[in-house]
Structure 1
Amino acid sequence: MRESIFSFWQDADFNALADEAPVAGEEGLRPAPAGGGEETWIFETFTAHPYHLRVSFTANTPAGPGSLLRVTWYGDGGTVQETRSGPEAAADDQGNGGLSVGPNKVRFEAGKYLLSLNTANLAGELEWEPLVPGWQPGAGRLSFGDQGRLQFFWRVPVPRAAVRGRITVNGKEYTLEGLGYHDYRRCNFPLGQALSEICLARLYHEGYTLLFARFKGNLLYSGKDVAALYLAGEEGTVLSTPHVETSPAGHGSSPPGEVRATARPPVDLLLDPPLNRWQEELKGRLFAGALRMWSASGRLRLADDPEREVRVRGWIENLTIAG
């Protein structure tokens, strides 16, 4: 018997769920999945050079011994990766987005995320200033199995941010000013029990922000895909929909070549061949697999009146999940 996947817009009773908007700085105010689990807060920034910085804080829930920091820098001289564990619980008690692993901290203050890094080879101070409201598809939760008790949360408090600051990498200092992204992920089971792949994209134009997600079930779930697409313009959300098609399917370690939203207004994203900038083996208790990060660009077509086409660029992550 094959198991069921309940999409972001669906619960275990097949009720339809509407979009909700997470608020920056309130990631600590979240429903607790049954049985605890593992949660991760991810902060990214990239510039046109291209430089790319990805910082993740991971903690067990309920709060247990230890938290984990992962930092990856891609830039001059290639890739620098750091991993550090700490005895602290990653989230503070106020639910305001404060996180720490040793001297590495991020807090939400005066409408911005303030990040302080201090590892063996990387140090810096940066800020993420949200430029568009937060988004999540439906309830921000995928549920698996007959009762929907296995749950994966994906919420994006900051789809687009202005990032500024300085970072020192192996003794060389960089001034960063670019775009940024922040999301929150949580699961209460080893992802390999239900999923085989995850693809998450964030692509930007001066006037548009596009997020795309695809979650592929494993054989127990008949390889079923659950997708979501979000498009924001200068006046707010243009589209938030599960009605998404990809061509080719893009399964495996590579992103798709084309993404189409068949809702209104129709949206078509034609991607140039992406560049695999760096990769990492994730060995979390529940999040485990091969992560590949791609720099991407392409043409975004909006079939409204009149039809428009703009160039977008950003990053795509592919996680091949360990079974």
Structure 2
Amino acid sequence: MSEIDPRALRNAFGTFMTGVTVVTAQDADGHPIGFTANSFTSVSLDPPLVLVCLANSSSNYTAFEQARGFAVNVLAEDQKDVSNSFARPVEDRFAAVEWRKGPEGSPVFEGVSAWFDCSMHNRVEAGDHLILIGRVEAFETSPAPGLGYARGAYVTAAAEAEALSQGAKLIVSALIEHEGKVLLMGNDQGKLTLPETCVGKEGASAALARLIAETGVAAEPGFIYSVFEDEAREHQHISFLCQSAGGTPAKGVFTPLTQSTLMDIADAAVCTMLERFASESRMGNFGVYYGNQTRGQVRAVGTGGSSS
């Protein structure tokens, strides 16, 4: 088993908004088992540890308590049916998804935002839950945006954008990241900007998809990273944090966020946002900004949660 790259793992942890995951393992007879969880928590990068919580009342309690490891599958926003199947007493939950054994042996799903295949590091009894701490032995990520869940309903990036765009003069930008670099474009004044576009009758999600397609890179909308009112230009600005699978951009260049690069950013509010992104990328701990172009607050994207 090859060693885990801490930087790549940190980026994987930080990029995916707290959302719906399915935790899987094999029982004593080698049969796949799994349950839907609200989220999982990154515990440590050295060694690479994550944890999930399993209710003592779960029918899978004994099997997971005795398992040699588990996998965490971060569902994509088009996998609501998978979430529902693993949250209910379905006879064959795994019929709802394409899966295979991961490098460490636990089931990992196709089409997810990410999966983390773990060996069992520790088990801790905590009240009415069992805490499972796993050591990440292998992981894989994709540009697919994750499926969120809040206040009893599923939340997707597209739904968030449409809700925010109602009745607003809206500009959407894409903060597209690949291997620690951000896609930046030049403007007529020789300054740098993020890819951005005005939203018309097509709606925010369609405008964002068009914007990403015009860059020529393989990327999909991630979570909303910043929302602010630009009072000077009288519009609302929404920026999405997106992961790119790479490729040569048709427009712009993937650029490291050095101090000299930041000094060349045309918009002061976007410069401040990119400074925050550079700092949060180093820590692997992201937040969402709400406010105007000069002041606001950053709400942490939490990674806590439990399952039943």
Bin for the TM-score computed over the shorter chain: under 0.3
Q: Higher strand fraction: Structure 1 or Structure 2?
A: 1
- TM-score, normalised with respect to structure 1: 0.25
Determine which structure has the larger helix proportion and give its number: 2
TM-score (norm 2): 0.25
The structure with more radius of gyration: 2
